[in-house]
Amino acid sequence: TQLLEQSPQFLSIQEGENLTVYCNSSSVFSSLQWYRQEPGEGPVLLVTVVTGGEVKKLKRLTFQFGDARKDSSLHITAAQPGDTGLYLCAGVPNTGNQFYFGTGTSLTVIP
């Protein structure tokens, strides 16, 4: 069982559509991060959310941290082919000091 579960695991959509990716845990996190990974490369940090209920926007990407700090979501508006990649949430639970990554969501945006 993974500490951070992401859904869906795979997502294939048409250019211009909206989508939401979820990251859920039974543990409380002091912060959560979202990374994007392109084929053949390492993950690259997109955003860190720290406060319960926090919403951060990065152009067409909107990140939300759940009020209880156990979950997070990533919403992409009007997806573009350049958004294609593997999206990973990650963080350190309050009960430990190790960094955990989510199971990942592989997004394909079809032109």
1 belongs to the binding site for other proteins (CB under 8 A): no
3-state secondary structure of 22: strand
Site for other proteins in 23-42 (CB under 8 A): 30-31, 33, 40-42
55 belongs to the binding site for other proteins (CB under 8 A): no
The one-letter amino acid at 51: T
Residues 6+ apart with CB under 8 A from 68: 28, 52
100 belongs to the binding site for other proteins (CB under 8 A): yes
6 belongs to the binding site for other proteins (CB under 8 A): yes
Query: Smallest distance from the beta carbon of 33 to other proteins, in angstroms?
Result: 7
Q: Do 88 and 101 touch, CB atoms closer than 8 A?
A: yes
Distances 24 to 2, 5, 105, 109 between C-alpha atoms, Å: 10, 5, 12, 23
92 belongs to the binding site for other proteins (CB under 8 A): yes
Question: Using CB under 8 A as the criterion, which residues of the chain lie in contact with other proteins when the complex forms?
Answer: 2, 4, 6, 9, 30-31, 33, 40-45, 48, 50, 88, 90, 92, 97-104
